[in-house]
Structure 1
Amino acid sequence: MQRSDEITTPRGPARVDVDLPRSRPSTLLVLGHGAGGGIDAPDLVALRDVAVRAGLGVARVTQPYRVAGRRAPAPAGQLDEAWTTVVGDLLRRQPGVRTLVVGGRSSGARVACRTARAVGAAGIVALAFPLHPPGRPERSRAAELETGLPTLVVNGDRDPFGVPVAGPTVRVEVRPGERHDLRQDPPGTADLVLAWLRRQGWAG
């Protein structure tokens, strides 16, 4: 079952596209998009497809600035505020959900990491996490991954934004030949994520 809806946030309306399996899900996976992209990015769509088949509910969130037609992202604090509002609303709409997993691609992965504790997430899926701006390794964002929560990072080995290093709670899967868009093999990326979700006990 699929539905699309708008949720009012302090930063304007966000859009959520929710896909549910046939039976009521106990795990909800909430995904955000990249800075200039949308929720129809190939890796997000592939992940949605395998997750729903595995019995998870999946919500893909379009940030208010994209709903308003802007490509330039809002400041981080505004992104986080809108995201937190949306996730809270989604959880109220799905009272049977026992486990929340948050994530996204690129900028969406950063938002998910920064807010994971605040929204009560059990884990994080970070696709194409932008470790640093291209050519600026000194401006590392590695600290955003240090949430203490189980986290899966999937990056291409040719990503100009860099590849994070694994840590005590951070697993890093590096995809050969992939760049930042992870477009070469979206089903393969999705299968890696699903395998990790199953190891955590969050997917059937």
Structure 2
Amino acid sequence: MITVDTPHGPAQVHLDEPGGAPRGLLVLGHGAGGGVEAPDLLGARSAARDAGLAVARVLQPYRAAGRKAPAPAPQLDAAWAAVVEHLTTAVPGVPQVHGGRSSGARVACRGAGALGPVAVLALAFPLLAPVRRDGTRADRGPEIDAVTVPVLAVSGERDRFGIPEPTPTREVVVLAGDHSLKARGPVAAAVGPWLETVLARETV
């Protein structure tokens, strides 16, 4: 495990590197109250390792400090950017795919324009926020819609936070299950071929 200093405290990075030179780097963030051992993150890690990528699972500073209540979005984004900068030096010269589950997917989408990934993996992206007291729900669709690089969105068919729609640059895979996306094997099966397509595009 690597500790990376960020503007909002140390983040913990679990970095898996292939035996030889990596073909790319997949950087993954966790859900709001969860960690880097979530089944869908492990499924994505498995697919990426099979494809010859290095994989970094990032534990945000608030979770590394033992807190469950998520930090504000600007703090999450700043910490994510610091970790990506560190990893760009640690695993240099390879295309990066950024992603995560739920809150982590939102962070990856928000940072895509500035941080330069070649693609974004959005696991259980929450289109709608939890219901407010007045019964309304904030729309988070603009965060994923703003991403201009290829996106793979993987969601459970019963996700209470909604499922993104496909677009010319966004592939959507709907699996059995809910927002927790516990189907590790099916997640890996969805992510693997997409990663190969992304990498093939980068080597043309």
TM superposition score normalised by structure 2: 0.92
Do structure 1's residue 200 and structure 2's residue 191 form an aligned pair?
Answer: no
- Check whether the contact 2:22–2:53 (CA below 8 A) recurs between aligned residues: yes
Report the number of matched residues: 197
**Correspondent of 1:87 among 84, 90, 96:** 84
- Check whether the contact 1:19–1:58 (CA below 8 A) recurs between aligned residues: yes
How far the C-alpha of 1:49 sits from its partner, in A, is 1.8
**Correspondent of 2:28 among 28, 31, 55:** 31
Distance 2:15 2:199 in 1: 22
Show the counterpart of 1:160.
160
Specify the code of the residue in structure 1 equivalent to 2:9: G
Distance 1:118 1:37 in 2: 26
Show the counterpart of 1:73.
70
Show the counterpart of 1:113.
109
Show the counterpart of 1:169.
169
Distance 2:156 2:124 in 1: 7
Specify the code of the residue in structure 2 equivalent to 1:108: G
Distance 2:129 2:80 in 1: 23
CA offset digits 1:181-203 (Å, max 9, x no partner): 011x2111111011111122359
Show the counterpart of 2:188.
190
Show the counterpart of 1:42.
39
Task: Indicate the SS of the match to 2:199.
Answer: coil
Show the counterpart of 1:131.
127
- Check whether the contact 1:145–1:170 (CA below 8 A) recurs between aligned residues: no
- Check whether the contact 2:128–2:137 (CA below 8 A) recurs between aligned residues: yes
Distance 1:68 1:145 in 2: 28
- Check whether the contact 1:42–1:186 (CA below 8 A) recurs between aligned residues: yes
CA offset digits 1:20-53 (Å, max 9, x no partner): 1111113100000000000000111122122112
Show the counterpart of 1:21.
18
Do structure 1's residue 150 and structure 2's residue 150 form an aligned pair?
Answer: yes
CA offset digits 1:149-185 (Å, max 9, x no partner): 1000000110111111111211111113x100011x2
CA offset digits 1:86-135 (Å, max 9, x no partner): 001101111242x0100000000000000012111110000000010245
Distance 1:50 1:100 in 2: 15
How far the C-alpha of 1:138 sits from its partner, in A, is 4.8
Specify the code of the residue in structure 1 equivalent to 2:40: D
Structure 1 unmatched runs, 5+: none
**Correspondent of 2:8 among 3, 6, 11:** 11
- Check whether the contact 1:26–1:96 (CA below 8 A) recurs between aligned residues: no
Sequence identity, in percent? 51
Specify the code of the residue in structure 1 equivalent to 2:69: A
Specify the code of the residue in structure 2 equivalent to 1:130: P
